[in-house]
Structure 1
Amino acid sequence: MTTRLSRSLFLHVALVVQSLSAAFFVGDLWSEVLGLRSWLLPWAVQEYIQVFASVGLIVGVISSALFVRHSRKRIAAMGRQIDVVQGHFQTHIEDLFDAWKLSSSERAVAIYAMKGFSNREIAELRGKSQSTVKTQLNAVFRKSGRNTRQQLTAFLVEELISGATVEATQ
């Protein structure tokens, strides 16, 4: 069973349990208020039902909170994907660089590295030494959690195309 399907099943089960629990409490309340109670259950049985209904309501509230949290994360991810599709990839890259706490020099070196420039070429373009560029590039790798230019570029390309689906050809 896929994760999405199991989450959906759990959410539906929790909704049914919460609905039955709420129906019990509302029915119990109104049957007392309107004097419609025609059956009597032993007090111990009634307490067990109330305990289970209370647990059902708590499970429903917790699962709803988890669902809302998961939904907010998915909405944020979709928002990033929409920004990328709308041509805001630069903004997305800047957000990643902010999260990685890259300096302006490290950002420039990262962009040049992603474009395929060598350390020597980056040094010439920026008017810096190759050792400075190498130090800044190593800082980018460390802060981003990547080890090579290829990993950095592949990660950023994956960010660009995440969510895109490929249809199988026959």
Structure 2
Amino acid sequence: MKKRSILIFAVVVFQAISAVLFVVNIISTVTGLFAFTWMVHELIELGAAVGLLLGVVLGAVVLVRVMQRTHRIEDQLRIASGAFMELLEDRFADWGLTPAERDVALFAIKGMSTNEIATLRQTSEGTVKAQTNAIYRKAGVSGRPQLLSLFIDDLMSGPLGTAAPSPPQREHVELGLERG
């Protein structure tokens, strides 16, 4: 990575020097202030052209790498999104949610209000409230924040099923707060 950065820096410096010399050459031609020989004039133009070509090549390489990285990240996002949906479906199946409760749970996890869910499902708010209460009971939680935390905990446990190292347990014995 360091060699690549040095190469990029060198190309940019070469381009900058070439551009300055090219501008000085044009100013000298127009004003006659500096007298460059024919050979120096041609070498300056050659250097500027090489600098431009290096810039084009470097720009193309960077563009290709950025496009490849973007593609990789989009693939990883699709995989993560699919894994999250699998996680949701597994949890919903474990809890024995009905199809209607699955829909309501998904909308609730997406952050929609009871009113928004009722409108989307073309049902009353009372029905949605009863379904969310059933979801919370089956999931063993008391509300939406705890429901969300179940999925966040699963996601934080590691990438695609590998357990992340758990933080060190603190001793709470002196306060009578033993961990379970």
The two structures have a TM-score, normalised by structure 2, of 0.43
Q: Of the two structures, which has the highest relative contact order with CA contacts closer than 8 Å and spacing of 6 or more?
A: 1
Larger Rg: 2
The two structures have a TM-score, normalised by structure 1, of 0.45
